[in-house]
């Protein structure tokens, strides 16, 4: 398949200083343990191939203020297992400690830098040009010959470590970016109606943006609402939730208003919860949405809602599922996620399961080989399905011109 950017096949990286942006953002347990290693395993494919280069690896993990916003030190240990050679870790991103370790690398050595989101400029979205002007990019780019972008799960983000190096370094796609785009370009044209989206997870703003596009363009027939999207749509429908279950700040109210407009415009498209499960002193208790005890935390969709969703997906021609429907890490609140995944895997629809947490749940179920495709990406996949351009692809196309200008592209004999 021909891309408008370069891949590892197009350049000779032997002896080169290579900066690799991966996405090893993984589910984190209550004790800081990594619950699923799949993204680390996927990232290792490109890194194993760069065995004759001086390799420096960057990634983010979680978001500031969230429980999964942790150091990448434990990731380095797991990465070693998959690439079958030592991985050094430095508790620094672009300061003297990081630059010293980078300067001392020998061919075949791998260094993992600290979580990029521990640096304030990395959490903003900006144009590729503005990202290229950040301290991170300006400090690190002179230390490398080539930038490899293999962070497909974050392909919809326009942040410094993802797109900022495009103007300053020759850039090529890693094996995961190549694999995901090939697979999705083959599957997306084959999608059959009715098309059902099952949307959960915690990234409400991203999901609302995609849902808005899908409903306006008619690219969806049903949207099942779960995860942290559910409280937003329930409030939009008139269900009053306690402050124990939603943080009623400016962002929440803005999201509720967006959801109201979508329900007014395309209310028949949405499948909303009729019941939920709350955590009552460590026990699961299902209750109807008009009778939710305010003192208990909602942690899952209820059994009746799960049954409704199972019927909905059984009628689908294509299913795109992204994000868990509840707190699936806790067995008592994994019911909706697991029941719906089981129904999806046992059906005959074209199925795409996406995102780190939901693919982890799919592996827990042992049903990875029963779906059409399991993608590492969540938001990036949804943006692609909605017809949006992915910023890292734009950046890779810019980086291709740098590689051609510097004569790094292999000649075809």
CATH entry 3.40.35.10 includes domain 8-174+389-405: no
Phi-psi region of 32 (alpha: psi -120 to 50; beta: other; left: phi over 0): left
Q: Using pLDDT thresholds of 50, 70 and 90, give the confidence band for residue 411.
A: low
Longest Cα pair distance anywhere in the chain, in angstroms?
A: 72
Look at residue 410 in the predicted model and tell me its pLDDT: 72
Check pLDDT > 90 for residue 393.
Answer: yes
Using DSSP, state whether 161 is helix, strand or coil: helix
List the chain domain ranges. 8-174+389-405, 193-348
- Assess whether the previous peptide bond of 194 is cis (omega < 30° from 0): yes
Q: How far is residue 62's CA from residue 68's CA, in Å, rounded to a whole number?
A: 5
How high does pLDDT run on average in the chain? 93
Q: What's residue 412's pLDDT?
A: 46
Q: Is-contact 321 352, C-beta < 8 A?
A: yes
pTM greater than 0.85 (yes/no):
yes
As a whole number, mean pLDDT of residues 341-352 equals 96
**Alpha-carbon torsion 196, 200, 201, 202, what sign?**
positive
Q: Which of 370, 374, 298, 368 is nearest to 336 (CA)?
A: 298
What tens digit of pLDDT does each residue of 198-217 get?
999 988 988 898 999 999 88
DSSP 391-402: HHHHHHHHHHHH
Residue environment code for 243-257, b if the CB has 16+ CB neighbours within 10 A, otherwise e:
eebbeeeeebeebbe
Give how far Cα 87 sits from Cα of 48, 51, 52, 281, Å. Answer: 11, 12, 14, 43
- Judge whether 266 and 215 are in contact, CB under 8 Å: yes
Positive or negative, the Cα torsion across 374, 380, 382, 383? negative
Residue matched to tokens 């098309």: 195
Model confidence pLDDT, tens digit, residues 106-156: 999 999 999 999 999 999 899 999 999 999 999 999 999 999 999 999 999
What's the N-to-C CA distance of the chain in angstroms?
19
Q: What distance in Å separates the CA atoms of residue 134 and residue 52, rounded to the nearest whole number?
A: 30
**Does residue 288 carry a pLDDT above 70?**
yes
- When pLDDT is averaged across residues 263-278 and rounded to a whole number, the result is 95
Domain 193-348: state its class.
alpha beta
Taking residue 323's Cβ as centre, other Cβ atoms within 10 Å add up to 27
Q: Which residues contact 278 (CB under 8 A, 6 or more apart)?
A: 284, 285, 287, 292, 293, 296, 297, 298, 299
| Same fold for the pair 8-174+389-405 and 193-348 | yes
Q: How high is the pLDDT of residue 15?
A: 96
Residue 5 has pLDDT above 50, yes or no: yes
Length of the chain equals 413
45-67 pLDDT, tens digit per residue, is: 999 999 999 999 999 999 999 89
pLDDT above 90: percentage of residues in the chain: 80
């Amino acid at each position: 398949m021909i891309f408008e950017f370069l891949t590892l096949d197009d350049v000779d990286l032997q002896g080169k200083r290579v900066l690799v942006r991966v996405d090893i953002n993984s589910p984190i347990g209550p004790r800081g343990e990594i619950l699923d290693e799949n993204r680390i395993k996927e990232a290792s494919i490109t890194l194993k191939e760069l065995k004759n280069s001086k390799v420096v690896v960057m990634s983010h993990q979680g978001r500031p203020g969230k429980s999964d916003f942790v150091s990448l030190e434990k990731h380095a240990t797991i990465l070693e297992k998959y690439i079958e050679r030592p991985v050094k870790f430095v508790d620094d991103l672009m300061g003297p400690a990081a630059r010293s370790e980078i300067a001392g690398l020998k061919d075949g050595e791998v260094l993992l830098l600290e979580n990029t989101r521990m640096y304030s400029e990395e959490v903003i979205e900006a144009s590729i040009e503005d990202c290229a002007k950040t301290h991170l990019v300006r400090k690190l780019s002179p230390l490398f010959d080539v930038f490899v972008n293999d962070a497909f799960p974050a392909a919809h983000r326009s942040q410094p470590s993802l797109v900022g190096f495009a103007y300053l370094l020759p850039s090529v796609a890693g094996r995961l970016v190549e694999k995901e785009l090939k697979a999705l370009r083959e599957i997306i044209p084959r999608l059959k109606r009715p098309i059902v989206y099952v949307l959960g997870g915690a990234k409400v703003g991203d999901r609302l943006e995609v849902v808005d596009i899908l409903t306006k363009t008619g690219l969806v027939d049903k949207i099942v609402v779960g995860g942290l999207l559910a409280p937003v749509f329930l409030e939009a429908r008139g269900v009053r939730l306690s402050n124990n279950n939603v943080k009623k700040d400016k962002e929440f109210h803005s999201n509720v208003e967006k959801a109201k407009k979508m329900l007014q415009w395309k209310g028949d498209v949405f499948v909303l919860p009729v019941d939920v499960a709350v955590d009552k002193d460590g026990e699961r208790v299902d209750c109807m949405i008009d009778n939710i005890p305010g003192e208990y935390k909602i942690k899952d969709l209820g059994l009746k809602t799960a049954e409704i969703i199972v019927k909905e997906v059984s009628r689908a021609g294509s299913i795109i599922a992204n994000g868990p429907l509840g707190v699936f890490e806790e067995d008592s609140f994994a019911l909706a996620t697991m029941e719906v995944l089981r129904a999806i895997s046992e059906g005959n629809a074209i199925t795409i399961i996406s995102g780190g947490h939901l693919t982890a749940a799919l592996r827990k179920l042992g049903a990875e080989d029963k779906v059409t495709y399991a993608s590492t990406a969540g938001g990036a996949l949804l943006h692609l399905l909605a017809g949006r351009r992915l910023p890292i692809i734009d950046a890779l196309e810019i980086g291709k011109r740098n590689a051609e200008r510097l004569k790094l592209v292999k000649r075809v004999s």
